[in-house]
Structure 1
Amino acid sequence: MAAAPRQRARLAPLLLCCVVLAALLAAALVSLSGSRQYLIYGLPDPGAFTSYGLTVVRVLTETGAVLTIGSLLFAAFLVPQQRSGLLAADGYAALRTAGWAALLWFAGALLSVPFTAADQAGRPVGQMLNPTTLLPMVDALEQAKAWALTALIALLVTVGCALVLSWGWATTLFFVSVFGLVPVAVSGHSASGGSHDVATNSLLFHLVAAALWVGGLVALLAHARRRGAHLGLATSRFSTVALGCWLVMAASGVLNALVRLPVHDLLRSTYGLLVLAKIVLLLALGLFGYLQRQRGVRAVTGTGSRAALVRLAAVEILVMFTTLGVAAALSRTPPPADAATRPSTTELLVGYDLAGPPTLLRLFLDWRFDLLYGTAAIGAAVLYLAGVRRLRQRGDAWPVGRTVAWLAGCGSVLLATSSGIGRYAPAMFSVHMGSHMILNMMAPILLVLGGPVTLALRALPAAGKDDPPGPREWLLAFVHSPVARVLTHPIVALALFVGSFYVLYFSGLFDTALNYHWAHLAMNAHFLLTGYVFYWPIIGIDPAPRRLPALGRLGLLLASMPFHAFFGVILMSRQTVIGETFYRSLALPWVTDLLSEQRLGGGIAWAAGEVPLIVVVIALLAQWAKADERQARRSDRRADTRGDEELAAYNAMLRQLAERGPGR
């Protein structure tokens, strides 16, 4: 144990040099545009200290974020935990590293609040240190509020890392830390202007992939330097993660740049040159990643040098932090397209223009691919088919009906978010309600009938008695986790499924959410997840933490029906328009009566809510019929067995009577 501090001490100077290099590089690159960014947005120059200080703080904050996420990734998934559920020594060391990194993340995010407020107000940061000046600015600026929320999340992770010891809580902290990237990502330049839906979604992919890759590599290097156990397993698992992250970073980075920058401006603007520099660095990182995987395999199998692996990883980390510096400068440099284009009101509010009224043809053929949910739907379908293929290759059967149900569920998600329905949903209440019904009622039913957990448990290899837990064991741990037990409790599932309708639409929350793209993403996730949690214990094929009896499942289903019908009736009879300010600001020429539009949405909610329930009843009846059939077969087998026993006893009695003879 004494070697660990010394090994960390050797790694600390490398990280410190990388951070200083990234900060200096970012500040130098930001200086290329000078005060041009403030002139573009019509703001006074806040001064060199505020401008460069914000850039340096951004680098420090991103460093803390990626080290936190990478260390938690390492503790939760790259090294095995003990069979008791507690973290092993290597996982515990990574957790403690995550705690210190989260403290840096918290400090940087907290400093970013006054620096961001000063930068966007065009005033020196010293004037923002007074709470009476800062608080009104934070309340008025979305990005300052995002940094405040990020600081709160980082503080929560910091405290959690100091308190927890179990694998389950370390995994929870990992997902919380990944979520900490979201507030700033959805409130920056990508969240405003035209095509902000594509820009924001691609940026989310980019940031998460970068954090997993950079932070995970640093954690792996630290593990190798302290000569921790299971280096081969950690290297193998991280290589898979790194390859996926590189592909995601490359695709999302190029897409995000194309949204903001015309191709012909790549060589004619500072922003374009920074984009090219980042592309070159990403290509270099891909090469380093390939070499690292090749040498890493040789090193951990004994045919290569562990020291060579460490040196290569150190160089890769240096290039990664250089990329972070370029990325920080890129976030502080205005793209030329911002000054050259003037998007329409619809494009500013929704992210894109609409071709005309939503005819039936446009609703089904006017597609705009949703990077988040469209990619998730296609990816889920591909993974499911891969699992079915693996079962068939080893001679196991898998019901075709389940495959059809899962693919239809993925198709429903794709239809609701990427077709014309998804395109018009942010701009029209009636179309939004149609998308809501698909995501909340139709898609979850089909997805739970697909039995994805059962398929995964059969397709994934089980860890041996002495082998470290893998994806199959992680999935089982989630199914039996306290979170899953609470969410699938009948009262909780029913309250989330039907109660959220009333809270969202009748509390003013929907009115606020209409103005933000991230809120649309959150609403879609909520609709989909609450529907899945509700239908999972009712008609789900998969093992659930709580299995309800047949009458209990039917009762839970029937209990939800009046709430849906009543919700639709309220919408149709309501005399005030929900989200009126937003819909009036769009001023769509084909939507002249917002109250009639809302009543149409209420009618869709009332009518569409009944059809999926009929599907559920049919599925329940089919499942009961199969259960009765299985029970009848078991009874017949028992009867056959008992019948043979009774016949044998009767024959034995006759033989005994025959042996006694007459009169005996």
Structure 2
Amino acid sequence: MPTETGSVPDTAPRRRAGVGPLLGVGVLFAMVVAVGLVALTGGIGYAIAGLTDPGNVTRYGITVVRVGADAAAAVCIGSLLLAAFLVPPQKSGTLAADGYAGLRTAGIAAWAWFVFALASVFFSAADGAGRPVTEVFSPEVLVNFIEAIEQPKAWLLTAAVALLLALGCKLVLSWGWTVVLFFVSIAGLVPIAVTGHSASGGSHDMATNSLLYHLIGAALWVGGLIALLAHARRRGAHLSLAAERFSKLALVCWIVMAVSGVVNAVVRVSPGELLTTDYGLLVIGKIIALAVLGVFGHQQRQRSVRGLKEGAGGGQLVRLAAVEALIMFATIGLATALSRTPPPQEIAAQPSTTELLLGYTLDGPPTALRMLTDWRFDLIFGTAAIVLAVVYLLGVRRLRKRGDAWPVGRTIAWLAGCAVLLIATSSGIGRYAPAMFSMHMGNHMLLSMVAPVLFALGGPVTLALRALPTAGKDAPPGPREWILAFVHSPVTRVLTNPIVALFLFVGSFYGLYYSGLFDSALNYHWAHLAMNAHFLLAGYVFYWPVIGVDPAPRRLPPLGKLGLIFASMPFHAFFGVTLMNMQTVLGESFYRGLNLPWVGDLLIDQRLGGGIAWAAGEIPVLLVMVALLVQWARADEREAKRRDRREAVTGDQDLAAYNEMLKRLADQGERRS
């Protein structure tokens, strides 16, 4: 039973027939397609890796469990999507019956995800070692393989996330915690996305980033469709609302999958190899399937959503979504076979050490000209910078169209923050950051101490709350209400606590670089992504309550804001000074493996990075001080205007009362004398 306060909603189905049979047929169909396609490619991947063929049980078994894990993950994510965002909760914040039904389905799917992920640990270990799966059942052998091969580690972490989700779906009942579980489920896709073919060889940074987009888009699309289908079969409430919301999300997912799929294919196969290699033919097949799904899904769902709005039942939606779901499962099988097929570049190319470690080559030392011109677009953070800028401008445009003003300074600050994010990750700074400690530290300072200040001054939450329409008294909550719930959530209150924010912002400097984490993280592209995300988010959490325009869960007095800024300064200065005086090189094995000819002394480069950290710590302090002074001056000006308006309405009552009091005191003094 759920442990949270409140009764469990009545989830008795309005119709007995569910989507279980369809789901079973779809998964089986996907497994057959994947196994059949893998059988056509033979065991070429083992020969390329210098491994012996582990046998049919391992070769086909790993394909079957991968399809099962992908399908279970999609159902879990889609069911949580339904419970969190497609159907509204009760006014008390507890899930309604339809939301609880989705949560219950997500829990069952999470257990299946856990079982398939755990099985994948054994199969991927055997597959990576070129051994029959029966040989890895020994704990000692399995542990050795997990330590030596990345895929079993990723599946073990995925299994842990799935187990956490399965337990969480049993324990929670509120809408807020359901949202948390939804984002945890999305995070469960990351370990597998950052390992495998896309995480090795040349251009693995582009391939990994595009695969992250692709897997998340596919899971939301496939899982959301299955959850919507189950909701329609239950004859759930708010079906029209759920279908309309999913239709918009499905369009975004299709665009994301199409663009990311093209990028991933471009870095893995040349146009001339599309028709001459197994990998190229599978890519063509996947492109055709995605195109068919896009056209079919758009046309069919438009008709279904229009019919629901006009009062028709969900029968048409069920029939059309069922056909679309079967096509999606065939695409899952095709995608699984593609992940099991080595790309042509992996067969023929011999990438350099720099390409193996970074994913790309470096043409020379980081001169000023190269910093300006030698760009490599970051699909994660570069795309985020562009999307954030566009969405912000659309919000400003909506305000102005209805006659509302929005300060130009806030827009400039936000766009400047997006520019800093783009430059830090996609310009020459971002290109050289993984290869040199000094460039990494410049990237770190821009992401943690410059971009967050500008983002906080942009007031994105205030803009969103003013631009988005309110749901209305009796209407289901929408994006505006979701943002308000996030701002006032317990998680946000904890993160914006001054002590917690200071610890995350400053303590991470010492925890990352002096604990050995940095040395380990240098070897993995996903770790670079995680570091950049942490720098940016920790900086924003710190500066939001200090200088942010948006209302924060915790309002600090002016002296408290100033004190928090001054409290962080000594830690930054000490960190930079200690780096400049260290006699050991951080990440020495990685940097020596790169063996860049223009980095003669790694210790000198590290000291330069320490100097950058020390000097850059002063820049945001100046920005913050100027912002605080401007905010205080404007606050005084607003208070003076309010006082003037009050006096214009009521007269100068305060001054009259004060004069009357002085007169009475004077009269009393005269009588006493």
Please tell me whether the aligned partners of residues 391 and 458 of structure 1 are also in contact (alpha carbons under 8 angstroms).
Answer: yes
Q: SS state of the match for residue 81, structure 1?
A: coil
Q: 1:645 to 1:194 in 2, by over 3 A?
A: closer
Correspondence for 1:190 among 173, 190, 198: 198
Paired residue type of 1:233: L
Q: 1:9 to 1:539 in 2, by over 3 A?
A: same
Q: What is the CA-CA distance between 1:292 and the residue it aligns to? A: 2.4
Correspondence for 2:225 among 217, 220, 225: 217
Please tell me whether the aligned partners of residues 451 and 536 of structure 2 are also in contact (alpha carbons under 8 angstroms).
Answer: yes
Q: SS state of the match for residue 260, structure 1?
A: coil
Paired residue type of 1:590: W
Q: What is the CA-CA distance between 1:258 and the residue it aligns to? A: 1.1
1:83 aligns with: 91
Q: Does 1:100 align with 2:108?
A: yes
Q: What is the CA-CA distance between 1:635 and the residue it aligns to? A: 3.1
Q: Does 1:643 align with 2:652?
A: yes
Please tell me whether the aligned partners of residues 150 and 195 of structure 2 are also in contact (alpha carbons under 8 angstroms).
Answer: yes
Task: Describe the superposition over 1:14-48 as per-residue Cα deviations: whole angstroms up to 9, x where unpaired.
Answer: 11111111001100100111111111111000000
Bigger shift: residues 125-134 or 369-378 = 125-134
In 1, distance between residues paired with 2:518 and 2:659? 76
Q: How does 1:67-466 map to 2 (within 5 A)?
A: 67-302=75-310, 306-466=314-474
In 1, distance between residues paired with 2:505 and 2:71? 39
1:658 aligns with: none
2:670 aligns with: none
In 2, distance between residues paired with 1:592 and 1:519? 26
Please tell me whether the aligned partners of residues 3 and 226 of structure 1 are also in contact (alpha carbons under 8 angstroms).
Answer: no
Bigger shift: residues 6-15 or 583-592 = 6-15
1:503 aligns with: 511
Q: 1:645 to 1:155 in 2, by over 3 A?
A: closer
Paired residue type of 2:35: A
In 1, distance between residues paired with 2:628 and 2:470? 31
Q: What is the CA-CA distance between 1:577 and the residue it aligns to? A: 0.5
Q: 1:2 to 1:524 in 2, by over 3 A?
A: closer
In 2, distance between residues paired with 1:2 and 1:648? 63
Task: Describe the superposition over 1:464-495 as per-residue Cα deviations: whole angstroms up to 9, x where unpaired.
Answer: 11000000000000000010000000000001
Please tell me whether the aligned partners of residues 569 and 603 of structure 1 are also in contact (alpha carbons under 8 angstroms).
Answer: yes
Q: Does 1:557 align with 2:534?
A: no
Q: SS state of the match for residue 486, structure 2?
A: helix
In 1, distance between residues paired with 2:141 and 2:658? 96
Q: Does 1:62 align with 2:70?
A: yes
Task: Describe the superposition over 1:196-243 as per-residue Cα deviations: whole angstroms up to 9, x where unpaired.
Answer: 000000000000000000000000011111100001100100000000
In 2, distance between residues paired with 1:619 and 1:95? 45
What RMSD, in angstroms, separates the aligned Cα atoms of the two structures? 1.7
Q: What is the CA-CA distance between 1:7 and the residue it aligns to? A: 4.4
In 2, distance between residues paired with 1:87 and 1:6? 18
Paired residue type of 1:235: A
Q: What is the CA-CA distance between 1:296 and the residue it aligns to? A: 1.5
2:6 aligns with: none
2:4 aligns with: none
- Structure 1: segments with no counterpart, 5+ residues: 652-664
Please tell me whether the aligned partners of residues 501 and 567 of structure 1 are also in contact (alpha carbons under 8 angstroms).
Answer: yes
User: What's the TM-score once normalised by structure 1's chain length?
Assistant: 0.96
In 1, distance between residues paired with 2:655 and 2:57? 96
Q: What is the CA-CA distance between 1:154 and the residue it aligns to? A: 0.1
In 2, distance between residues paired with 1:111 and 1:464? 48
Q: 1:47 to 1:630 in 2, by over 3 A?
A: same
Q: 1:27 to 1:561 in 2, by over 3 A?
A: same
Q: 1:646 to 1:599 in 2, by over 3 A?
A: closer
User: What's the TM-score once normalised by structure 2's chain length?
Assistant: 0.95
Q: SS state of the match for residue 267, structure 2?
A: helix
Bigger shift: residues 424-433 or 626-635 = 626-635
Paired residue type of 1:204: L
Q: What is the CA-CA distance between 1:633 and the residue it aligns to? A: 2.4
2:665 aligns with: none
Q: 1:306 to 1:421 in 2, by over 3 A?
A: same
Paired residue type of 1:320: M
In 2, distance between residues paired with 1:162 and 1:644? 62
1:13 aligns with: 21
Task: Describe the superposition over 1:309-341 as per-residue Cα deviations: whole angstroms up to 9, x where unpaired.
Answer: 211100000000000000011111111211111
Q: How does 1:567-578 map to 2 (within 5 A)?
A: 567-578=575-586
In 1, distance between residues paired with 2:624 and 2:611? 21
2:664 aligns with: none
Q: What is the CA-CA distance between 1:618 and the residue it aligns to? A: 0.6
1:581 aligns with: 589
In 2, distance between residues paired with 1:10 and 1:576? 63
Please tell me whether the aligned partners of residues 102 and 227 of structure 2 are also in contact (alpha carbons under 8 angstroms).
Answer: yes
2:484 aligns with: 476
Paired residue type of 2:187: F
Q: SS state of the match for residue 98, structure 1?
A: helix
Task: Describe the superposition over 1:600-627 as per-residue Cα deviations: whole angstroms up to 9, x where unpaired.
Answer: 0001111111011111011001111111
In 1, distance between residues paired with 2:405 and 2:161? 45
Please tell me whether the aligned partners of residues 58 and 123 of structure 2 are also in contact (alpha carbons under 8 angstroms).
Answer: yes
Q: 1:396 to 1:46 in 2, by over 3 A?
A: same
Q: What is the CA-CA distance between 1:103 and the residue it aligns to? A: 0.6
In 1, distance between residues paired with 2:618 and 2:147? 43
Task: Describe the superposition over 1:615-651 as per-residue Cα deviations: whole angstroms up to 9, x where unpaired.
Answer: 1011001111111112222333445534269779999
Q: What is the CA-CA distance between 1:254 and the residue it aligns to? A: 1.2
Please tell me whether the aligned partners of residues 439 and 528 of structure 1 are also in contact (alpha carbons under 8 angstroms).
Answer: yes
Q: What is the CA-CA distance between 1:294 and the residue it aligns to? A: 1.7
Q: Does 1:542 align with 2:550?
A: yes
Paired residue type of 2:652: G
Q: What is the CA-CA distance between 1:3 and the residue it aligns to? A: 9.3
Please tell me whether the aligned partners of residues 391 and 398 of structure 1 are also in contact (alpha carbons under 8 angstroms).
Answer: yes
In 1, distance between residues paired with 2:196 and 2:517? 22
Q: What is the CA-CA distance between 1:293 and the residue it aligns to? A: 2.3
Q: What is the CA-CA distance between 1:142 and the residue it aligns to? A: 1.1
1:467 aligns with: 475
Q: SS state of the match for residue 377, structure 2?
A: coil
Q: What is the CA-CA distance between 1:10 and the residue it aligns to? A: 4.0
In 2, distance between residues paired with 1:141 and 1:493? 37
Please tell me whether the aligned partners of residues 11 and 101 of structure 2 are also in contact (alpha carbons under 8 angstroms).
Answer: no
Paired residue type of 1:456: A
Paired residue type of 1:28: G
Correspondence for 1:490 among 498, 502, 520: 498
Task: Describe the superposition over 1:492-551 as per-residue Cα deviations: whole angstroms up to 9, x where unpaired.
Answer: 000111110011011111000000000000000000000000000000000100010000
Q: 1:132 to 1:461 in 2, by over 3 A?
A: same
Please tell me whether the aligned partners of residues 7 and 222 of structure 1 are also in contact (alpha carbons under 8 angstroms).
Answer: no
